[in-house]
Structure 1
Amino acid sequence: MNGFERRTAKIKQRIKQATLELLMDMDPRTLRIADVVARANVSQVTIYNHFGSKEKLIRESVQSWYIEILEATRAYLQDDTKSFQDKVAFIIFNKKTTLHQFSISKLDTLIWQDDEMKNFVEEIYHNQALPLTLELIEQGRKEGAIHHNFPSSLIMFYLNLFMEKAEALTDYAKNYGDEDAFIEDMMQLFFYGVAGKS
């Protein structure tokens, strides 16, 4: 990558970062290019030259954000020094951290109401996220953390029950007093149910 390409990449990254920051507090439909111009300190011409339209700018910004989260997750899940329990905690509470940026309803607007974004997310899920999850489940079996009779589909369903409640977990954690204790208790509940560890 030459100097011009590096400068172009930095400008595009700055514009996408500004867009994401604005989207954290703003409905995508009300976001204006003028808002991004002010936040990123670039001209409208620069934005249109790099992205073409507001819709493409939002789409590319969210896709970059999504890939960044996936790569951080992949790095953690493929770390051989982490136990199955460590990785499950990371998945559940990394999702919680993600929702500090975007609520479920906003993610719904940004992803599932845009056919291109929907196709992007579904492709990422099938080609990358699903294989990572199956590798994690296999690690859980090897460590004796998953009963050998439980099929992978059931374990994935169980994981998703917790992940789908990430927004509620975020709200509940605020009133729990001690976030570390909350995470520990949630992991006890995840692995041992309401009866606790025997």
Structure 2
Amino acid sequence: MNGFKKRTEKIKQRIKDATLELLTTMEPRAIRIADIVEQANVSQVTIYNHFGSKDNLIREALQDWYMEIVQETRQYLQDDTKSFQDKVAFTIFNKKAYLQKLSISKLEKLIWQDSEMKTFVEKIYQDHSLPLMMDLIEQGRKEGAIHYSFPSSLIIFYLNIFMEKAEDLTAYAQTYDNEEAFIEDMMQLFFYGIAGKR
């Protein structure tokens, strides 16, 4: 990549980062190009030249953000030194840092109101998330952490119950003295239910 392209990509990234930052406190429809201009310290012309419209910019910023999550998750879940339990804990709780940027409710609203984003997220799930989950389940079976009689679809459903509550779990974690104790208790609930490990 030559110097011009590097500068162009750097500017585009700054604009996308600024857009994500604004999305933490504002609704997408409330964000004006002028707000992005101020946050990113670029001109309106620069934004339109690179993205064409505010909607395209928001969409591209969110897609990059999603891919960042996917890459981080893939890297962790494909690490052969991590146990099934470690990977489950990561899968459930790794959203914490991302939730500091966008709440689950706001993210869902952004996705389901935009047909292109909905298609993108569904493709990410089919092409990336689902294969990773199937590999994780296979590891759990090999380690004896998943009962042989449970179908994979039920395990995914069970995992999704916890992952969909990531925002609530993050808020509830604040009631604990320390995060590690909270994660330990949640993992006990996940693997052994309310009876706990005997």
Structure 2 SS opposite 1:72: helix
Task: Establish whether residue 82 from structure 1 lines up as the match of residue 82 from structure 2.
Answer: yes
Task: Give 2:2's aligned residue.
Answer: 2
Task: Give 1:36's aligned residue.
Answer: 36
**Equivalent AA in structure 2 for residue 27 of structure 1:** E
Q: TM-score normalised to the size of structure 2? A: 0.98
Task: Give 2:62's aligned residue.
Answer: 62
Any unmatched runs of 5+ in structure 2?
A: none
Task: Give 1:104's aligned residue.
Answer: 104
Task: Give 2:117's aligned residue.
Answer: 117
Structure 1 SS opposite 2:94: helix
Q: Shift in Å at residue 139 of structure 1?
A: 0.5
Any unmatched runs of 5+ in structure 1?
A: none
Aligned length: 198
Q: TM-score normalised to the size of structure 1? A: 0.98
Task: Establish whether residue 148 from structure 1 lines up as the match of residue 128 from structure 2.
Answer: no
**Equivalent AA in structure 2 for residue 104 of structure 1:** I
Q: Is the 8 A contact 1:62 1:110 kept in 2?
A: no
Q: Is the 8 A contact 1:104 1:167 kept in 2?
A: yes
In the alignment, the residues of structure 1 paired with residue 133 and residue 192 of structure 2 have an alpha-carbon distance, to the nearest angstrom, of 20
Task: Give 1:191's aligned residue.
Answer: 191
Q: Shift in Å at residue 195 of structure 1?
A: 1.0
In the alignment, the residues of structure 2 paired with residue 155 and residue 63 of structure 1 have an alpha-carbon distance, to the nearest angstrom, of 27
Task: Give 1:128's aligned residue.
Answer: 128
Deviations 1:150-178 (A, max 9, x none): 11001001101111111111111111222
Deviations 1:18-65 (A, max 9, x none): 100110111111011111111111110000000000000000000000
Q: Shift in Å at residue 97 of structure 1?
A: 3.0
In the alignment, the residues of structure 2 paired with residue 26 and residue 7 of structure 1 have an alpha-carbon distance, to the nearest angstrom, of 28
Say which is worse superposed, 103-112 or 60-69, in terms of deviation: 103-112
In the alignment, the residues of structure 1 paired with residue 105 and residue 81 of structure 2 have an alpha-carbon distance, to the nearest angstrom, of 36
Structure 1 SS opposite 2:100: coil
Structure 1 SS opposite 2:24: helix
> Percent identity, aligned pairs only?
73
Task: Give 1:18's aligned residue.
Answer: 18
In the alignment, the residues of structure 2 paired with residue 187 and residue 139 of structure 1 have an alpha-carbon distance, to the nearest angstrom, of 17
Q: Shift in Å at residue 104 of structure 1?
A: 2.1
In the alignment, the residues of structure 1 paired with residue 151 and residue 159 of structure 2 have an alpha-carbon distance, to the nearest angstrom, of 13
RMSD of aligned alpha carbons? 0.8
In the alignment, the residues of structure 1 paired with residue 9 and residue 32 of structure 2 have an alpha-carbon distance, to the nearest angstrom, of 22
